[in-house]
Structure 1
Amino acid sequence: MFSQRKFRMAGIAGMASVLFAGAAHAQSNVTLYGVIDGGLLYTSKTLDPATGGNAGKQFSFVDSGTAPSQFGLMGTEDLGGGLKAEFRLESGFSVANGGFNDSNGNLFGRQAYVGLANRFGELKLGLQFSPFFLSLYDLDPRGLSQFGSGLPIYLDHVLGTGVFNANAVSYSSPVVAGFSGRAMFSFGGVAGNFQSGRQYSVSLKYDNGTFMVEGAFYDGNSGGSVNTAPPTNVAFEGRMLGASYKIGKLTAKASFTNYKVAGGFDSNVYDAGLDFLALPDLDLNGGVWYVSDRNATTNHSVMGALGAQYFLSHRTTLYGQVAVVNNHGAMDTGLSVNNALFSPSGTTTGVNIGVRHVF
């Protein structure tokens, strides 16, 4: 009996050692992160949705002046041999009322994916940003600020399509001699109709640390099983090509983008701008965006924006932004993702000041 008990104890100890060895080998971590951004917004005009005319000035509190307020969880697990598992769950919210905002209408509507990564690249499955949208972020002179950047122009044309891609599978390559690429395919989710809601996007980038050039493509069909507010299934084709050049603390960027929206605008967007780290705690940036509808050249707009960010710490930033947009014809380019996504004909001026904290 003693020998049997001794054998059982030895077996249990052996099993425990295997379990602990596995736990030590497969190290994992989970990180909580987020952004809280709020401020004040003034615009000299607002769009009356009923008439399309000017509804007058506005002065309001605005959520997310520069970056979308958000929180998320991300984690990785070391599987050995250079392979790791990863996940991300990300939600957007409004600091104005605590409700959902910039979140695709869902709890984790910004990103929700699981993936694997090693030296051969990264594979992700789930809700994620498209390569086309990520390329626009890389080349926007103001980092796709929520105010006075290429982001209001993007959302004005296709709303959330291409930003939030559900039912998606993507692959990101490693960097080889400065070159890297991304590819994504999103299933529509409709049985018997493979084309309904189908979306795909690819991008290719070369970056040597000083000079960067990047191109991307997006193609999406309407329909599918995902219904959100704002819609993420607007049928459109997107193309972009741009470059940046960095000299010390100054970075210059320029790009061309085309939005071919089914039954709507076929817009060419040209933009250029500068970002300058004037001091370790002060960043200045500015850009100009020209939008022209190829279907009717009388529909066009030009927007210019300047911004300053003062870093109180590595987590907290004070910012100020000013922008002017001039719309002609049916073009209704707005100045801000929140509270001023569309503007009436003529010239509209806007100012936004606020504070952003990251954790």
Structure 2
Amino acid sequence: MKTSVIAAAALLALSGMTHAQTSVSIYGIVDAGLVRESGGPDGNVTGLGGGVASGSRLGFRGKEDLGGGLSANFLLENGFNSDNGTLGQGGLLFGRQMYVGLSGNFGAVRMGRQYSPYYLALRDIADPFAAGLAGRAGNVMATNTRVNNMINYQTPKFGGFFADLAYGLGEIAGDAQKSRTIGAAIGYEQGPAAIKLAHHQLNNATATDRTKNTLLAARYKFSLAEGSIGYAVNKGLGAADSRDFILGVSVPFGPNRLLGSYIRHDDRTAMNRDAHQWAIGYFYGLSKRTDLYVAYARIGNDNGADFKVGNATDTGTGDKAFNLGVRHTF
């Protein structure tokens, strides 16, 4: 009996130590809003979007202390459509992100389905709409959002400077270059200033051609507002060639924010299919976790260009869109 009590106490102590060294958190966003789209070939469309300002999601984030400053990390993030309960990202269980890795004084290494360095530069620095609402930069600009089979290394910050390197395996037998993705970013972020230079390259399935996107993005927080700017050079499959310019502003009013942006797409090919987008949005904070939002964006397409106004989870049907909804984070 005495031996059993001692064994049970030892197990409880070990369990307490393990719990103290390992943490798992559950988080998420539930977003739903009214979406009114117009200017499309099939006329006006009104519907309920299941992720307008932010894609609705349920995530699990974990970290285990391995000692000596080394930690194991994982993230499982499921995307879903709150309007009808279906899975997002084409029905993938953890389609938003899914990775496992190690972190320490050397930085962090992660493996799995992850955001590209290019996308993070666009979302976090250049785009005041943070890839959501009708004003998202992805309506007109390349986003290169996620990469499968990606090995990612992020350096620690040195005086505000850092680097982010990514390699996505194409996993095609006989040629490692087929469908391969290469990404990288270098940046500086300290105090009110942030700047990042990012590059993304994707080979096609035969490795005979590739798309290349390079973005220089900068953001500065002034006393009354935050301004952002970005310039992208795009080389696509075949002879595709374009330049993108984005100018954004975010003005806080206590828990509320006013957003605005202008994007110019300059097509350098003979077709000259230019476009520009104007957008405005507003978040009204009901609490730290819940806000109401409203947004409007309009695209002007030239010479047969066919860009559409979407939102965080919808590619859109026309060249104008209005959003009105609610978002809750937990």
Give me the TM-score of the superposition, normalised by structure 2: 0.90
- Alpha-carbon distance between aligned partners in 2 of 1:266 and 1:340, rounded to the nearest angstrom: 22
**Partner of 2:167 in structure 1?**
185
* Deviates further, 125-134 or 37-46: 37-46
Kept in 2, the 8 Å contact 1:317–1:356? The answer is yes
Give runs of aligned pairs for residues 1-359 of structure 1, distance below 5 A: 16=10, 20=14, 23-24=17-18, 27-46=21-40, 54-101=41-88, 103-138=89-124, 139-154=126-141, 162-223=144-205, 235-263=210-238, 265-278=240-253, 280-296=254-270, 298-337=272-311, 338-341=313-316, 343=318, 348-359=319-330
SS at match of 2:162: strand
Kept in 2, the 8 Å contact 1:332–1:342? The answer is no
Mark the CA change 1:193 to 1:146 in structure 2 (over 3 Å): closer, same or farther.
farther
Mark the CA change 1:248 to 1:270 in structure 2 (over 3 Å): closer, same or farther.
same
Kept in 2, the 8 Å contact 1:36–1:357? The answer is yes
CA-atom RMSD in angstroms: 2.5
- Shift of residue 342, structure 1, vs aligned partner: 5.1
Mark the CA change 1:340 to 1:177 in structure 2 (over 3 Å): closer, same or farther.
closer
- Alpha-carbon distance between aligned partners in 2 of 1:14 and 1:339, rounded to the nearest angstrom: 54
SS at match of 1:333: coil
- Alpha-carbon distance between aligned partners in 2 of 1:44 and 1:220, rounded to the nearest angstrom: 33
- Alpha-carbon distance between aligned partners in 2 of 1:17 and 1:339, rounded to the nearest angstrom: 51
The CA deviation string for residues 163-193 of structure 1, in whole angstroms up to 9 with x for no partner, is: 2211111111111011011000011112222
Larger Rg: 1
- Alpha-carbon distance between aligned partners in 2 of 1:296 and 1:188, rounded to the nearest angstrom: 32
Mark the CA change 1:276 to 1:223 in structure 2 (over 3 Å): closer, same or farther.
same
Kept in 1, the 8 Å contact 2:121–2:198? The answer is yes
Kept in 2, the 8 Å contact 1:141–1:285? The answer is yes
SS at match of 2:93: coil
Kept in 2, the 8 Å contact 1:146–1:152? The answer is no
- Shift of residue 93, structure 1, vs aligned partner: 0.9
- Alpha-carbon distance between aligned partners in 1 of 2:163 and 2:67, rounded to the nearest angstrom: 25
The CA deviation string for residues 263-285 of structure 1, in whole angstroms up to 9 with x for no partner, is: 3642211010110112x221111
The CA deviation string for residues 180-225 of structure 1, in whole angstroms up to 9 with x for no partner, is: 110000111122221111101000111221222110001111239x
Give me the TM-score of the superposition, normalised by structure 1: 0.84
- Shift of residue 75, structure 1, vs aligned partner: 0.5
SS at match of 1:196: coil
Kept in 1, the 8 Å contact 2:38–2:317? The answer is no
State the AA in 2 paired with 1:309: F
- Alpha-carbon distance between aligned partners in 2 of 1:193 and 1:165, rounded to the nearest angstrom: 19
**Partner of 1:227 in structure 2?**
none
- Shift of residue 13, structure 1, vs aligned partner: 5.3
- Shift of residue 22, structure 1, vs aligned partner: 9.0
Identity %: 31
Mark the CA change 1:83 to 1:22 in structure 2 (over 3 Å): closer, same or farther.
farther
- Shift of residue 261, structure 1, vs aligned partner: 1.8
- Alpha-carbon distance between aligned partners in 2 of 1:193 and 1:32, rounded to the nearest angstrom: 40
**Partner of 1:49 in structure 2?**
none
Kept in 2, the 8 Å contact 1:104–1:110? The answer is no
Mark the CA change 1:24 to 1:70 in structure 2 (over 3 Å): closer, same or farther.
closer
- Alpha-carbon distance between aligned partners in 1 of 2:194 and 2:73, rounded to the nearest angstrom: 28
Kept in 2, the 8 Å contact 1:27–1:78? The answer is yes
Mark the CA change 1:314 to 1:178 in structure 2 (over 3 Å): closer, same or farther.
same
Mark the CA change 1:25 to 1:312 in structure 2 (over 3 Å): closer, same or farther.
closer
- Shift of residue 146, structure 1, vs aligned partner: 3.8
Kept in 1, the 8 Å contact 2:227–2:250? The answer is yes
- Alpha-carbon distance between aligned partners in 1 of 2:242 and 2:83, rounded to the nearest angstrom: 33
Kept in 2, the 8 Å contact 1:269–1:292? The answer is yes
Structure 1: give runs of 5+ residues left out of the alignment: 47-53, 225-233
- Alpha-carbon distance between aligned partners in 1 of 2:315 and 2:167, rounded to the nearest angstrom: 32
Kept in 1, the 8 Å contact 2:201–2:213? The answer is yes
- Alpha-carbon distance between aligned partners in 2 of 1:164 and 1:340, rounded to the nearest angstrom: 16
- Alpha-carbon distance between aligned partners in 1 of 2:129 and 2:33, rounded to the nearest angstrom: 18
Aligned length: 325
Structure 2: give runs of 5+ residues left out of the alignment: none
